[in-house]
Amino acid sequence: MGNADSGRGVGTGDQFAIGSVTKSLVSAQMMHLVEAGRLRLDDPVDQYLPAVLNFDTNGATIRQLMGMRSGIPNYWPELEGTLATDRQRVWTTADMLALIPAERTPAGTTFDYSDTNYLLLQHVIEQVTGRTVVKAMRNGGVLDIDGIERLVYQPDERPTAPMALPDAMSPAEWKKGRGYLPSIASATAGPTTGSIATNSLALANWWQALCSGQLISQDSLTTMATFVDEYGLGLFDVADPYAASFGHAGSDIGYVSWAGCLPDSGSVIVALSNRVVDDIGGMPRPLVVAAESDTTTRTTP
């Protein structure tokens, strides 16, 4: 299974950073708010953002943000290179929005994967609910379920031992990142874009709840899993081309992740690593093939 850090092997309880798999959880929370009548997918995002942000949203709708079709450039490439070298920096929304160039493409015309979309959704959730994102999700939202106690929303919540440290580094070195996975810099560089840390079982339990209709309605899940340019609303076919699926993959410094549902077998697959691999999409392939060949399989953490 590999090493959790410089002196210990990985265990089933270890928390990993999951990067952009976080977006699926945020997207599900957005659908939860839609079902509650708190917002509509085709409303302009400007309608739900605090004026203090003073940011050009390009006339994009909530749906276009969730589906990566807003035409707003991605801030992430502008800061990614600093996350490994300045691990103690605390990023703010203002810091990140300041990195985004003024150029826009017309909203709704092209797919362009941009973390900026989900950064803005953080403020939509907070504006609509009057709560922080984690409080909205924990109290009556999509994190208000049993079996996910090891799933934490950073930086509001902290990871706890045992943890699989990034690139299996030494605990002493990891602590220089102020106790987050992989660091406080990554955890604050867009919480709704990729900050969750979890162990495999908690994440599998969450996906099982999503796929079985416990979190949102089947109609909402179908909307999320309707792909345009290979992406839905916080979901895509992560097992393409070897199986039909809907889920998400992610990466962060020292981590890669893959999670999703296999509708043909009714299975949930989660694969987490604290070492970067070249082929994230192929990482869980043996598990997917095994699950698809056994229709009695339901969950494979």
pLDDT of 16-27, one tens digit each?
Answer: 999 999 999 999
Q: What is the pTM of this model?
A: 0.95
Task: Please name every residue paired with 196 in a beta bridge, in sequence order, or none if there are none.
Answer: 153
DSSP sequence for 92-138: -HHHHHTTS-S----TTSS----HHHHHHHHHHHHHHHSS-HHHHHH
- Tell me the pLDDT band of 296, cut-offs 50, 70 and 90: very low
How many residues does this entry show for the chain? 301
pLDDT of 57-69, one tens digit each?
Answer: 999 999 999 999 9
Instruction: Give me the residue spans of the domains in the chain.
Output: 16-300
Residue 25 · residue 196 · CB < 8 Å? yes
Q: Which of 74, 73, 84, 67 is nearest to 27 (CA)?
A: 67
Residue 2 is predicted with a pLDDT of 83
Cα 299 to chain centroid, rounded: 20
Record: fold of 16-300: Beta-lactamase (3.40.710)
